[in-house]
Chains A and B, each alone.
Chain A
Amino acid sequence: MKAALQRFAESAEAEGLLDVAYATLDSPFGPLLLAATPRGLVRVNLPNQDPEQALEELAARVSPRVLEAPARLDETRRELDLYFAGKLTEFDLPIDWALARGFRGKVQRAINRIPYGQTRTYTEMARKAGNERAVRAAGTACGTNPIPIVVPCHRVLRSGGGLGGYGGGLPMKEALLELEGVL
């Protein structure tokens, strides 16, 4: 049955029917669920977030043709492994912004340009997205980032120097900043 399922995933990809492929990766923080469309990485689900809910959201918002098909995520997994090992400072992965719409999407695209080992404030991100006064909305945009780690929302801090929040829990944010030599 396993061979039949693998053959099916391959045929689905070959026939252009694999709208969302997903795989899991064992990270130092726990299992990450990774999902990609033919355009690129669309979702990274952190260990403390419910993977089933993430898949249901993908089915509802991107396409219900969601299949476990790790091949499409091979490069993403390779780069994440290197990143966690401190051997990669810039991801070179195509991204699908399908889950990043409106003002939040603008903020998330701005977050994607923060270099490794640097931090920005929520206020700066609000300004970059075109509305300096929307600091709270910028915070929400960080909290709802569909592609954390790769789109580095952990590099956004409060203006006073406080850590702010993190979807994966504050210890994970701290650990990522330590890995990058910020803390």
Chain B
Amino acid sequence: MTKLPPFQTLLDEHAADVMGVLRGAVGRTDAEDCFQETFLAALRAYPRLDNSENLRGWLLTIAHRKAIDHHRAKGRKPIPMAEPPEVPIEDPEPFDGELWAAVGALPPKQQAAVALRYGSDLPHAEIAAALGCTPEAARRSLHEGLKRLRKELA
């Protein structure tokens, strides 16, 4: 077993990536809450972690689960009957809304694979670690996701 570094190191090195992945997976508005849930879950489990070799992959796995939980919870919410009011969204950074909306509409595995590859620039092996699948399956999810995106956005 390798020694666990101070938890602050995980924030310093990976917080931006986790936020990036979550923005890709659930959108900017909800990413903040998922970010908090991800790091609180990680902090809770941290002292019992027996392998500190791939902390980034571990964090991204938790982030991915939180994103899936988020989508499930959203799916269970009752469908609003009236038209929702239009609320302006403050969005100071350049952001391709149409593209990420399309990413957000992909099935969970494809969505996560695309977000991890292009939101966080992860190689296939790390995407596989984060999704808990083989690199081959990660590559397939990414491929399927991209194929669907090209069709949607064509």
- Chain A interface (Cβ < 8 Å from any Cβ of B): 1, 4-5, 7-8, 11-12, 15, 17, 20, 22, 55-56, 58-60, 63-68
Contacts and interface: CB of A to CB of B under 8 A. Distances in A.
25 contacts: A1-B16, A1-B19, A4-B15, A4-B32, A5-B15, A7-B36, A8-B35, A8-B39, A11-B36, A15-B44, A22-B8, A56-B3, A56-B5, A58-B6, A59-B3, A59-B5, A59-B7, A60-B4, A63-B47, A64-B4, A65-B47, A66-B6, A66-B8, A67-B7, A67-B11
Interface in B26-83: 32, 35-36, 39-40, 43-44, 46-47
A51 to B, nearest CB: 11
B15 A1 contact: yes
A36 to B, nearest CB: 14
A64 B36 contact: no
Given A4-B32, A11-B40, A64 B19 contact: no
Which of A1, A20, A64, A66 counts the most B-chain CB atoms under 10 A from its CB?
A64
Contacts of B15: 1, 4-5
Closest 7 CB pairs of A and B: A66-B6, A64-B4, A59-B6, A55-B6, A17-B43, A68-B8, A67-B8
Nearest to B4: A64
B6 A64 contact: yes
Nearest to A59: B6
Contacts of A68: 8
A12 B43 contact: yes
Nearest to B37: A11
A64 B39 contact: no
Contacts of B6: 20, 55-56, 58-59, 64, 66-67
A9 to B, nearest CB: 9
Nearest to B49: A64
